[in-house]
Amino acid sequence: MPDSLTLLLMTLFGYVGLPTLLARTGFSRALKGAPAALPQVALTFDDGPDPVWTPRILEILDRHGVTATFFMLGSQAEAHPEIVRQVAAAGHEVGVHGYRHQMPALLGLRATLQDVGATVQVLTSILGHRPRYYRPPWGIFNLWTGIAARRHNLIPVVWSLYVSEWSRRTTAQSIYVDAMRHAQPGTVLLLHDCAGPGSRRDAPAIVARVLPRLIAGLRRKGLELVGLSQLLSPGNGGLPHDAAPDQSVGSPRP
């Protein structure tokens, strides 16, 4: 007879571990399907919008002619709707990242649906159109994530490369070296434009500091920086935009 700890671990694995594993496996397959003839990568930013750092990052992206995708929290978007509109007006994509960055393992069906639905409602009211992509906090999926995504016609997507700018030991140099070492055609790079739960408070500042050098380095590697819609387009071997959201995608890195 399993003890209580074993039962708890088995329950957690079934509720979030297995869905997350399946999501990440699906994402790996989708990215590996991108043709080698299209050496493209996507920059993505989580946890904003931030009134200080999001505009600074937008200015850097504009200066270098780069399109990115911003996964926003509903609570942050409500507090700073003008920045949400600024992101969209600059030609960047806006995705759903949940309302308050809650741990999916602690959310049941109703809470998951409310978390995603509230964020979709906030972003739609600000942008005038519905967002397309959904990235759950920490890239963790639970049993109900696919249902929430399907209800709002969202494509779940996480990342394939995380340069650990939340870590206390991370520097602008280590971010650059990590990205140069691991970025390849089809990479979806995770960065942050706002300090989220558990992060170092200056993480967005480090991202803004390294971003111009990072963009230049990726281009020297022959990689074009594009938005998620272009990277994941059917013609690029990625996900069709009318695909059922239960084709969840994720990343091998937490």
Q: Which of 136, 154, 140 is nearest to 71 (CA)?
A: 136
First to last CA, the chain: 32
Give the single-character DSSP code of 96: E
Catalytic residue among 46, 47, 50, 115: 46
Catalytic residue among 80, 92, 101, 192: 192
Q: Distance between CA atoms of 65 and 86, rounded to whole angstroms?
A: 16
**230: exposed, middle or buried (Cβ count in 10 Å: 0-12, 13-18, 19+):** middle
What kind and span of H or E run contains 4?
helix 4-12
For residue 152, what are the β-bridge partners? none
**Residue 192 bears catalytic tag:** yes
**Residue 46 bears catalytic tag:** yes
What kind and span of H or E run contains 224?
strand 224-226
Task: Enumerate the active-site residues.
Answer: 46, 192
